[in-house]
């Protein structure tokens, strides 16, 4: 199984149609990856599917960078 | 027209909601028939749909309860596998002059008629965004546009629904979820049966088409908004009121 970052990266690249090289742990969804708030909501939903987990609204609101998402998923799994 | 689609109609045990459930089912949609207390009436609607070869089930939920609404939406999606059409129809009246209106009367109507629409819309959004398609149709009221003496609570809620419709439409447009409202005029249902005769007479004099509406007049417009014919409409409020408010 690919590591969490690689899997998250794949979801982001597919969903936001951005260059792979832009997807770093530090990248902010809104500032660096040109996602709007709804894109972020949708991304979170896709991550839930990919990792077969539920991310609460409270947790989802704290996710603003790629690293936030990866760390959250790692902390649960 | 709606083959393969699945729909949830709130307050579908009686009146306008009942007519909407029957109309959507007649056009091929699978329908979840929500009710608050009238279990038997809701079952009758389900039986009628099944008798005509359609698919439906009844589901109890108080639309002003977040927990109820979440359970209901989950059950609908589990049963039908998708949720394409939401009709927010459940509503109540607690009429009184502003001066006499009790705080509870105000709160109760806002809870059911406005917060209920918010909660149900929120609960289906995730599914519809995932599907990248969906229709939300809110039953407002013409008095939400014009105002009406004796209905401060109801009018505030219905005007709120119209605003909520526009905002939801804007937020969900890029995901192909279309959100519109229907504003009925004076429709013959239990809700209006309890009005005094003079009130009905004076209403009639304000309706250019010179008749009260029936629930099917509303249901057919809802069916249009739920169909592909309305692909290029969102955020609108359609007045279905015999010309009362222009
Ligand atoms: N009739 C009119 O002239 C008119 C005009 C403009 C707008 N409208 C709007 O059209 C909608 C339907 O009105 P109607 O005349 O058909 O009313 P109705 O005959 O009184 O039926 C109301 C329906 O809403 C349900 N309901 C009430 N509170 C609920 C709750 N908390 N949770 C879930 N369901 C609930 C009822 O379920 P139970 O049977 O289980 O109680 C019933 O099915 C309402 O939003 C109303 O404001 C009506």
Q: What is the pLDDT of residues B31-81, one digit of tens each?
A: 999 999 999 999 999 999 999 999 999 999 999 999 999 999 999 999 999
Domain range enclosing A41 = 1-76
CA of B111 relative to ligand 1 center, distance in Å: 13
B205: annotated binding-site residue?
Answer: no
Q: What is the pLDDT of residue A42?
A: 87
Cα distance between residue B32 and residue B11, in whole Å: 10
> What's the topology of domain B6-240?
Rossmann fold (3.40.50)
For B127, left (φ over 0), alpha (ψ -120 to 50), or beta?
A: alpha
Bridge-based pairing of strands B85-88 and B134-139 is parallel
Q: Tens digits of per-residue pLDDT, B129-138?
A: 989 999 999 9
Q: In what order do the strands lie in the sheet with B30-35?
A: B56-60, B30-35, B6-9, B85-88, B134-139, B177-184, B237-240
By the CB < 8 Å criterion, does A39 face chain B? no
Q: Is B96 helix (H, G, I), strand (E, B) or coil?
A: strand
- The owner of tokens 């309860």 is B65
Of the candidates A32, A36, A39, A49, the residue annotated as catalytic is: A36
pLDDT at B203: 86
User: Considering Cα of B222, then B226, then B229, then B231, what sign does the dihedral take?
Assistant: positive
pLDDT given at position A1: 47
| CATH code of the domain in which A57 resides | 1.10.1200.10
The candidate with the shortest Cα–Cα distance to B60, out of B52, B68, B48, B50, is B68
**Structural domains in chain A (count):** 1
Query: Which residue shows structure tokens 């997807």?
Result: A23
- B27 labelled as ligand-binding? no
Q: Which residue on chain A is closest to B129 by alpha carbon? A: A42
Q: Which residues pair with A28 in a beta bridge?
A: A65
Binned at pLDDT 50, 70 and 90, residue A54 comes out as confident
pLDDT of A36 over the 70 cut:
yes
pTM as predicted = 0.93
Q: Give the chain B residue whose CA is nearest to the CA of A44.
A: B126
Q: Which residues does A4 contact at the CB level (< 8 Å), separation at least 6?
A: A51, A70, A73, A74, A77
Amino acid A2: pLDDT: 63
């Amino acid at each position: 199984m690919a590591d969490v970052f690689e899997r998250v990266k794949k979801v982001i690249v597919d969903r936001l149609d951005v260059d792979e090289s832009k997807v770093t742990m530090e990248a902010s969804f809104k500032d660096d990856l040109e996602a709007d708030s709804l894109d972020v909501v949708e991304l979170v939903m896709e991550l839930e599917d990919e990792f077969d987990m539920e991310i609460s609204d409270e947790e989802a609101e704290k996710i603003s960078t790629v690293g936030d998402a990866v760390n959250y998923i790692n902390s649960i799994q | 027209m709606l083959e393969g689609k699945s729909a949830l109609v709130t307050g579908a045990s009686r009146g306008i909601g009942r007519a909407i459930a029957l109309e959507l089912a007649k056009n091929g949609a699978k329908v979840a028939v929500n009710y608050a207390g009238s279990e038997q009436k809701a079952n009758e609607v389900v039986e009628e749909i099944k008798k005509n070869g359609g698919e439906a089930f009844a589901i109890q939920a108080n639309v002003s309860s977040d927990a109820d609404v979440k359970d209901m939406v989950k059950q609908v999606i589990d049963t039908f596998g998708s949720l394409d059409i939401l009709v927010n129809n459940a509503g109540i009246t607690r009429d009184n002059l502003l001066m006499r209106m009790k705080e509870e009367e105000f709160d109760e109507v806002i809870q059911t008629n406005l917060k209920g629409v918010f909660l149900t819309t929120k609960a289906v959004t995730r599914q519809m965004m995932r599907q990248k398609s969906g229709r939300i149709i809110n039953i407002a009221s013409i008095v939400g546009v014009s105002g009406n003496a004796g209905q401060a609570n109801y009018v505030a809620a219905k005007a709120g629904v119209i605003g909520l419709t526009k905002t939801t439409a804007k937020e969900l447009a890029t995901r192909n979820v279309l959100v519109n409202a229907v504003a009925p005029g004076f429709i013959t249902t239990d809700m209006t049966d309890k009005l005094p005769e003079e009130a009905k007479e004076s209403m009639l004099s304000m309706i250019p088409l010179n008749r009260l509406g029936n629930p099917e007049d509303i249901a057919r417009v809802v069916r249009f908004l739920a169909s592909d014919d309305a692909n290029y409409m969102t955020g609108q409020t359609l007045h279905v009121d015999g010309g009362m408010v222009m």
